[in-house]
Amino acid sequence: MTNISGRQVVSLNGSWKALIDPTGTGDWLRIWEERTPVSKTDFVEYSFTGTPELHVPGDFNTQRPEYTYLEGTVWYKQTFSYTRKKDKRLFLYFGAVNYLADVYLNGKHLGAHEGGFTPFQFELTDVQEGINSIIVRVNNTRQKNGLPALSYDWFNYGGITREVSLVETASTYINDYLVQLTKHSDHEIAGWVKLDGGNAGNQEVKVSIPELKISYRTKTNDSGMALLRFNARPVRWSPDTPRLYNVIISSVSDTVTERIGFRNIAVSGTDILLNGRKLFIKGVNIHEERPFKAGKANTEADARVLLSWAKELGCNMVRLSHYPHNEYMVKLAEEMGIMVWDELPVYQHIAFADTSMPGKMELMLREMIKRDRNRCAVIIWSLSNETYSFTPSRDKALIELLGKCRMLDTTRLNTVVINNQGYSNNMFHVHDSLYKYADIISLNEYIGWYVPWQGKPEDVKWEINYKKPVIISEFGGEAKYGNAGDVADSWSEDYQAKIYREQVVMFRRVPQLAGVCAWLLVDYRSMGRMRPGYQDGYNRKGLLSEYGERKRAWYVLRGYYDEK
């Protein structure tokens, strides 16, 4: 279901018992059965009594030293007490668990979920009167056919990384809804409401927006789906006017309220239009890394710090790379007037030919869209980043996924980020045919850092053969904060600033440029970054250190964004 914070919930956040199981022995021991020795001679090789506790939400790696580099299984346990209520249903909701989750209630398997960054839920039909026990087997081992797959440039934080809630609903409840402006209209709001339960069919549903004097009634069909379409005159949401409205959705037995904004986002030729006006995207990439103290970001306070830094930089958009971030980030960005680029972790070396892949990608796409489809701040669904091979399986998989994305949401733009470009004689050739299928050409380039190393972006010319808006979705270079040096030293703040100065000169000459998005706001942990003294396990392409200290390149980009 969507909009958990708009429902009757009991939080299960807090301390959970945890058993570390690097060898996976717990499966064989059937830990979920929670056998307890009755007599001294009973032989049980595990127990949750006396185990350390882990805080939920939170990654396990940064909570106890023995978990630091764990890529394996941890068994979590929590109990809750419940009094059965007539005509009520109970769901167990997880904001995200990285990467595989198997959930047990009172010793019985409730279900499983794959994917570390999207929400999921199970209905608790067998909940008992009194104390109930939940056990979650969490495994963050990298998977060859996972999303992402085996190698990626961020830290593999495992655990129950986002919030866990018990959600109590009416027996027929509002499961999901869409209330957004239609693509090109400033006054037509359309969408649907989906009821779930025995009385979902032929029910009256009401959508009210008191500030717009809207009170609209519609009816569900036999399968519980009600379409809606009405006229209203909202102040359209934009970074300058981040206006949101209270929207109340009610059925006979349920009511859900949510703050929703309305805007139009479209492409016209090589321009991106927000509310019909040409937009230049001033973006920055962010990883879901907690500011000031290494770990996974997962609180509203973390989101506020990160987004305030993006605002101070002059950004009007954040790219939440390379996976859906926690909901606080998206909701707060919307309140603060920052557009959002949501992305799937279809990153670099994905096993596109694996038969499970289309299904996995589609499910994750659905989960991302289901959570964020009413967030007007989200303007772009990005379906992949730097998929390397020009194989028929990659093209087929991503073209199909783009089609599914369009079917699920017609109100936003989509993209697939590419870095397969040719570079010769100072000419940058953009030629990945996937561009033909997406709304926006997004490409990552590291002229001055990777290709060509210490090259000069300002001298480079661009050749783009498709008439679509272009966003440079990544550019930059590494610098250790405080490392003075001269402009010829890699790793120095001065060299990073030089790359940014020259990139800015180049941007003025890139045809069709509709926006740029720096890589990236804050230094973040990545185990493959092993240069001692400079990296020490961090990707140092941040404009800020992990403590928020501004590097010289920060001021260069802020100057460009001010001017834009």
Residues that bind ligand GCU (CB under 6 A): 153, 322, 385-386, 419, 444, 474, 519, 539, 541
Strand order through the sheet with 265-268 = 265-268, 271-274, 277-279
Between 379 and 443, CB nearer to ligand GCU: 443
Between 156 and 208, CB nearer to ligand GCU: 156
Shortest Å distance, C-beta 520 to ligand GCU: 8
Shortest Å distance, C-beta 320 to ligand GCU: 12
Q: How many separate helices (H) and strands (E) can be counted in the chain?
A: 7, 33
CA distance 102 to 160: 12
* Number of Cβ within a 10 Å radius of residue 297: 24
Between 216 and 423, CB nearer to ligand GCU: 423
Between 91 and 538, CB nearer to ligand GCU: 538
Shortest Å distance, C-beta 38 to ligand GCU: 53
Return the structure tokens found at 480.
Answer: 């250790």
Nearest to 147 by CA among 359, 380, 405: 359
115, with CB counted inside 10 A (0-12, 13-18, 19+), is: buried
Between 172 and 539, CB nearer to ligand GCU: 539
Between 181 and 344, CB nearer to ligand GCU: 344
Cβ partners under 8 Å of residue 49, min gap 6 = none
Shortest Å distance, C-beta 64 to ligand GCU: 27
Q: Which residue is nearest to ligand GCU (CB)?
A: 153
The answer to whether residues 429 and 418 touch, using CB atoms and an 8 Å cutoff, is no
Shortest Å distance, C-beta 270 to ligand GCU: 24
How far is CA 506 from each of CA 355, 420, 426, 428, 479, rounded to the nearest angstrom?
42, 19, 12, 11, 21
Cβ partners under 8 Å of residue 499, min gap 6 = 448, 449, 457, 475, 476, 477, 553
Return the structure tokens found at 350.
Answer: 């994905």
The answer to whether residues 542 and 500 touch, using CB atoms and an 8 Å cutoff, is no
Shortest Å distance, C-beta 386 to ligand GCU: 5
Nearest to 226 by CA among 212, 198, 205: 205
Shortest Å distance, C-beta 446 to ligand GCU: 7
37, with CB counted inside 10 A (0-12, 13-18, 19+), is: exposed
Between 342 and 474, CB nearer to ligand GCU: 474
Shortest Å distance, C-beta 531 to ligand GCU: 13
Between 173 and 519, CB nearer to ligand GCU: 519
